[in-house]
Amino acid sequence: MGFEDLVARFEDPARKEWQKPDKVIAGLGPLAGKTVADIGAGTGYFSFPIAARGAKVIAIDIDQRFLDYIEARKQREKQGEIESRRTTPDSPGLKPNEADMVLIVDTWHHIEDHVSYLKKLRQGLRPGGRLVIVDFKKEETPIGPPMEMRLTPTQIESELRSAAYIVQSTDETTLPYQYVIKARAPGGG
């Protein structure tokens, strides 16, 4: 699939119906003054609306073409509170204690060694920082990755606990094809 096709798929207006970005973002709580890392940012589908709510966003991706797309869009929209950052598939690309929150949407199924990745990610989260994972249910849906790439919420919850996160909630009803798992890094009171 060419890059233009990926952009068209990520920015498809129909995505709003099943991804419900406004509801997902509302569920993140107050964002003003927070630093939010959007891992697997793609076209900035979540980065831009989060920045519009007063957060500093670190849009992280492994594909430089997406980061270039975000930079161009940032210039067009005069949006300064988004920093694009390239990383590798096995690294979240965060500095120690850099983020108050990490959002990973439609990307978790691409990450290889989840527990190792989560431990690295924890270093980039401030103590008590929040992690939100949105990914596809392990059932047939009109869109999403192949079934063999999908994980159940129980699998992800187990991985989170193995990496010393505190699982706060799992929502399997708000989104038609996906679940939302919220967890917290240890510490922070």
- For residue 4, being part of any structural domain is answered with no
- For residue 12, being part of any structural domain is answered with no
What's the whole-number mean pLDDT along residues 34-52?
Answer: 97
What is the C-alpha to C-alpha distance for residues 152 and 155, in angstroms, rounded to an integer?
Answer: 5
What is the C-alpha to C-alpha distance for residues 27 and 12, in angstroms, rounded to an integer?
Answer: 22
137: domain range?
A: 19-184
Domain count, the chain: 1
**Is residue 74 predicted with pLDDT exceeding 70?**
yes
- For residue 150, being part of any structural domain is answered with yes
**Is residue 7 predicted with pLDDT exceeding 90?**
no
Residue 189's pLDDT is: 61
What tokens appear for 66 in the block?
């997406």
- For residue 32, being part of any structural domain is answered with yes
CATH code, 114: 3.40.50.150
State pLDDT tens for residues 88-141.
999 999 999 999 999 999 999 999 999 999 999 999 999 999 999 999 999 999
Q: Say what the pTM is.
A: 0.95
**Is residue 29 predicted with pLDDT exceeding 80?**
yes
Percent of the chain with pLDDT over 70: 99
- For residue 104, being part of any structural domain is answered with yes
- For residue 81, being part of any structural domain is answered with yes
- For residue 2, being part of any structural domain is answered with no
Beta bridge partners of 177: none
